[in-house]
């Protein structure tokens, strides 16, 4: 009888220790830091300098937004437009379309190299979007291609021994198709040439266009880790469909929040529902200079990364996110 009780005590103890270790492992599971357009809180977005700075800050992944040039080069830039981040209106004043905008797709890569990249501004007023960031018009920053950025990151991985990944996003595939270009196919082929082919490779591929991303999986047969970006509230109800082709979702962080009661945040079911379907959750965008409902960046990180239990996120300030997670 004593032996049976002793075994029972040992069994209970082992189960307790196992559960404790499991909880510990769960709470310490790595949250990934995605450098949104590079270290864009400090240097003009999507410049090589911003990417190198993000690398030095030990981001897990560095993001590349992609738009095709006239000669089918994937250019690293946030939008299909040029006039809110470059001096295109001064260099090529006669190249705007009827809507008054300048489009990346209307310029060859060589022509794009003549432009200077500027801190994001309103093309109508000329006013800098984030006034406390890098001064508008200062420095000598240029546009670059996906290939050039991959070679920078892979070269730094080689020379430093780190293994920092890339997180490309194809912008507006429908617009590209309307202009006779297949941005998804071109991008997937380039990624494959540089060794990014499967979920095991350090490449996460994202897009807002659900049909475009589903095509990447089913028609183009890509085995990369795919993330469906979410912009509109009604899209949060389509998780089951997203899970048929994607490995994760990238919602606006406010879609994770519900309401604040008695000083404590409550959350929507988005993260829990996504996790139930096996989807990772990487919200956008964590900014020190755009806190909105939060009193500090520290609070923002705690609420979203810890309390809401997202799996990582996009930030303009990768050093501050890394510092938060390092302390945990």
Which residues are catalytically annotated?
A: 36, 78
> Can you read off the two tokens belonging to residue 199?
């979920």
Produce one character per residue of 13-26: b if its CB has 16 or more CB atoms within 10 Å, e if not: eeeeeeeeeeeeee
Q: Partners of 68 in the beta sheet? A: 74
- Contact residues for 213 (Cβ-Cβ < 8 A; gap 6+): 205, 206, 207, 226, 228, 245, 246
* Burial class of residue 107 (count of CB atoms within 10 Å of its CB; 0-12, 13-18, 19+): buried
Whether 164 contacts 55, CB under 8 Å: yes
Produce one character per residue of 260-288: b if its CB has 16 or more CB atoms within 10 Å, e if not: eeeeebebbebbebbeeeebbbbbbbbbe
């Amino acid at each position: 009888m004593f032996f049976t009780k002793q075994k029972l005590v040992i069994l209970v103890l082992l189960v307790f220790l196992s559960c404790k270790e499991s909880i510990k492992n769960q709470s310490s599971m790595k949250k990934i830091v995605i450098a949104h357009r590079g270290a864009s809180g400090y240097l003009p977005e999507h410049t090589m300098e911003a990417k190198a700075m993000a690398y030095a800050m030990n981001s897990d992944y560095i993001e590349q937004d992609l738009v095709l040039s006239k000669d089918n080069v994937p250019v690293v830039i946030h939008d299909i437009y040029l006039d809110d981040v470059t001096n295109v209106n001064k260099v090529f004043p006669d190249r705007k379309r009827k809507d008054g905008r300048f489009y990346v797709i209307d310029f060859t890569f060589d022509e794009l190299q003549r432009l200077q990249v500027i801190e994001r501004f309103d093309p109508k007023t000329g006013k800098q979007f984030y006034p406390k960031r890098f001064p508008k018009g200062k420095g000598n920053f240029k546009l670059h291609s996906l290939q050039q950025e991959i070679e920078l990151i892979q070269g730094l991985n080689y020379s430093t021994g780190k293994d920092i990944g890339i997180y490309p996003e194809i912008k507006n595939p429908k617009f590209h198709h309307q202009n006779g270009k297949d941005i998804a196919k071109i991008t997937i082929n380039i990624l494959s040439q540089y060794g990014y082919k499967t979920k095991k490779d350090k490449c996460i591929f994202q897009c807002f266009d659900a049909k475009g991303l589903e095509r990447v999986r089913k028609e183009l047969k890509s085995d990369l880790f795919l993330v469906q970006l979410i912009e509109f509230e009604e899209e949060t109800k389509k998780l089951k469909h997203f899970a048929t082709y994607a490995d994760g979702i990238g919602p606006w962080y406010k879609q994770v929040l519900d309401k604040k009661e008695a000083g404590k945040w409550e959350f929507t079911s988005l993260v829990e529902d996504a996790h139930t379907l096996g989807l990772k959750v990487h919200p956008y965008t964590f900014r020190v200079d755009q806190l909105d409902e939060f009193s500090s960046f520290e609070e923002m990180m705690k609420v979203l990364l810890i309390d809401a239990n997202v799996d990582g996120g996009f930030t303009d300030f990768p050093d501050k996110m890394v510092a938060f997670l390092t302390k945990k």
